[in-house]
Amino acid sequence: MIDRAATFWRAHLKPLFLLSFGFSLVNYIAMKATILAGRQLSPMLYASDMQAQAQRDPTGMLGQTGVSMGLWMVLFGVIFFIYWMATLATSRYVVSAQLGEPVSPADSLRRAFSRAGPLTGAYVCSIAWAMLIAVLLLGPGVILGGIAAVVAGMGSNTLALVLAVIAVPLAVLGLIAAMLWYFLRFLLLPPVMAMEDLGAWDSFKRSGELLSGRIGPGFLDRVVVRAMILYTVMSLILISVQLVSSIPSWLVMAPYGSPFDAGTMARTPQYLLVPAELVQVVAQSCFTPIYYVFCSLFYLDMRVRREALDLERRMDAPSTTTLAV
């Protein structure tokens, strides 16, 4: 599956880049606006003496931290939605090409924007469902952390420390599991939206049906297991690309402090930082489509295996054979 995705990506690099670049640029603009807004609304978080200011004004620091977290939550919501739109547009291009009915990137974008309404509805449903799952998965760690805080208040510091040591990794694992569940559960929703004229709720259910059950007797033939393995590999590829494409930005920020310090980005001149970040945007637009192609091919593979889509289309196609009289 990954090899097929890479082969298609190499063969259609230019149109895939054109489909991805606009969405990547919007993501970059949204992220940049969030950072600039955060610097204006939460200046204490970007100050060089942040710890000292927190000690002088803990209430102000808490308020600005809340504002910053709210901004970043909105940003992540926007980025995830744009990711779905990009996947939808690319899926239209990829699946149509695989079925022998190629469409242009412009037609794929028109399809994506025409489905923006149902996609928004499905996105809201997915966020609500994900919040419920996150509460369930984070619950044990949060509850154990709360017990540790109560025990510490009662004066048993040793027991509280033991409980905290267990609670923190448990909560982190719960958060990772919730994020993995989200991306796997809705892996095929954008391709469904791209190729099937279903509403928001029907697309929501349809994507779940395609990812349920198994396609063979073995453990690896469970669809969720196959999706998890393939998704993990693709994620590692994209993370590697992200790290490599971030090197120009890190080099630009290095003279002004640690690239992983929020204050360093504020101290770095924007006329140096923005070009380096745009290089990163271009690199991501080149390589990220391989993930979109993988989602599209996985959707097509499930429909072929479960619904014999290829045979159905052959039967529906007009015959090209001329019978002799």
Across the range 40-53, mean pLDDT stands at 71
- For the chain, what is the domain count? 1
User: What percent of the chain has pLDDT above 90?
Assistant: 31
The answer to whether 205 touches 213, Cβ cutoff 8 Å, is: no
The answer to whether 15 touches 103, Cβ cutoff 8 Å, is: no
* Helix or strand run (H / E) with residue 141: helix 116-153
Q: CA–CA separation, 303 vs 301, rounded Å?
A: 5
The alpha carbon of residue 220 and the mean position of all alpha carbons in its chain are separated, in whole angstroms, by 24
Across the range 310-325, mean pLDDT stands at 46
Question: At 218, is the secondary structure helix, strand, or coil?
Answer: coil
- Is residue 105 included in any domain, yes or no? yes
Q: Average pLDDT of the chain?
A: 84
SS3 annotation, 249-302: HHHHHHHHCCCCCHHHHHHCCHHHHHHHHHHHHHHHHHHCHHHHHHHHHHHHHH
- Is residue 299 included in any domain, yes or no? yes
Q: For the residues of 58-94, what is the DSSP string, one character each?
A: HHHHHHHHHHHHHHHHHHHHHHHHHHHHHHHHHHHHH
Across the range 149-162, mean pLDDT stands at 76
- Is residue 128 included in any domain, yes or no? yes
User: Please, is 214 exposed, middle or buried when counting C-beta atoms within 10 Å of its C-beta (0-12, 13-18, 19+)?
Assistant: middle
pLDDT of 298 over the 90 cut: yes
Q: In DSSP terms, which residues pair with 222 in a beta bridge?
A: 214
- Is residue 119 included in any domain, yes or no? yes
- Is residue 320 included in any domain, yes or no? no
Domain of residue 174: give its range: 2-309
- Is residue 86 included in any domain, yes or no? yes
Q: CA–CA separation, 103 vs 96, rounded Å?
A: 7
Q: Place 66 in a pLDDT band, splitting at 50, 70 and 90.
A: confident
Residue 192's pLDDT is what? Answer: 94
- Is residue 20 included in any domain, yes or no? yes
Token output for 266: 């504020």
Residue 262's pLDDT is what? Answer: 65
Q: Place 320 in a pLDDT band, splitting at 50, 70 and 90.
A: very low
- Is residue 322 included in any domain, yes or no? no
Q: CA–CA separation, 43 vs 53, rounded Å?
A: 10
Residue 321's pLDDT is what? Answer: 40
Q: Which residue has the higher pLDDT, 78 or 44?
A: 78
User: What percent of the chain has pLDDT above 70?
Assistant: 91
- Which bin fits 100, alpha (ψ -120 to 50), beta or left (φ > 0)? left
Minimum mean pLDDT among 152-161, 190-199, 239-248, 299-308: which range? Answer: 152-161
Across the range 7-15, mean pLDDT stands at 94
Across the range 301-323, mean pLDDT stands at 61
